Amino acid sequence: MNLKQLEYFVAVAELGSFSKAAVILNVAQPALSRQVRLLEADLRATLLLRNGRGVVLTEAGKRLFDHSVGILQLVSRTREDIEASRDEPAGRIVVGLPPSMGRLLTLPLVEGFRRALPKARLAVVEGLSAHLAEWIATGRVDIGLLHNPEAQPALEVTPVLEEPLGLVSPAGKRGGRKVSLRSTATLAELARLPLILPERSHAMRKLLETQAALSGHKLNVALEISGVQSILDLVRAGHGHALLTPSALAASGDAAAFRLRPIVEPRLTSTLCLAVSAHKPATPLSKHVFRMLRELVLATGRSHQP
């Protein structure tokens, strides 16, 4: 077993295809297949099952994949530490963003990163906060932005931005009628409306249901939809109302088509936090990107204050 074989194996597993991995790695497919076969022979285990759509991991393959990701991350951090001794951050870093922030932050993050860190490499992935927390804990992501993360020993969390949660309705109408002129909405009012919310594992859904239960209200969940853009399409079409932050609504690019009223009685807020692994030492590169992300998030929050 060697690092090159592990790198090839991880690429095939992540992409689910030898041909796709060969293109990404710039390696001939027969050579790639040969290295994976040698790895299987060395471990005396079948790691990948081939089917008509590509490959899937066996149970042994899943175990090796988890170990391999950690090993390759450790090797990458070792290189970063050595290269950082030359006084300029270098290496590769993976940043995880929730979809609601990805549209707002990816472009300025990439442009700022390239200007400030020309010798380093950046990868950006998107996922729900629960998934990002798991990826940070297992080493697949170095720094992530999480909404209302639950406390866990594997993560170090730094609150960055607190935003009000608001009731999102089509601009000018609500259920075929004109909306009231009130600039806020109560939780009691919210409970009477058909709501379009993410699934129960979503951080905002957990926050909302907890507050509703504490206030003695039962939510009327009309639809469970994960994507913000899909939720807004359904709101615009009159299928219900949504709960979003100002920045999430702004990321849609069509905020003028909706009305956002902050929730009061009680006031509901969503806290955006920067998270890193509690077990991974910070490198010059990770510290630089951490500061860069924090500044971008704060700037975004200021520009979208209601």
Residue 298, pLDDT > 60, answer yes
Q: Which domains are delineated in the chain?
A: 1-87 (1.10.10.10), 89-161+271-306 (3.40.190.10), 166-267 (3.40.190.10)
Is the pLDDT at 180 greater than 70? The verdict is: no
Is the pLDDT at 87 greater than 80, yes or no? no
Tens-digit pLDDT profile for residues 97-140: 988 788 889 999 999 999 999 888 999 999 888 889 999 988 88
Please answer whether residues 223 and 252 qualify as being in contact, where contact means their C-beta atoms are separated by less than 8 angstroms.
no
Query: The pTM is what?
Result: 0.65
Average pLDDT over residues 60-67: 92
Task: Give first-to-last CA distance, the chain, whole Å.
Answer: 56
**pLDDT at 51 (0 to 100):** 85
Six-digit token string for 48:
């990948």
Categorize the per-residue pLDDT at 172 as very low, low, confident or very high, splitting at 50, 70 and 90: low
Q: In the predicted model, is pLDDT for residue 176 greater than 50?
A: no
Q: Which has the higher per-residue pLDDT, 82 or 168?
A: 168
Q: Is residue 174 over pLDDT 50? A: no
Mean pLDDT score, 191-205 = 85
Report whether 215 contacts 266 (CB < 8 A).
yes
pLDDT value at residue 129: 86
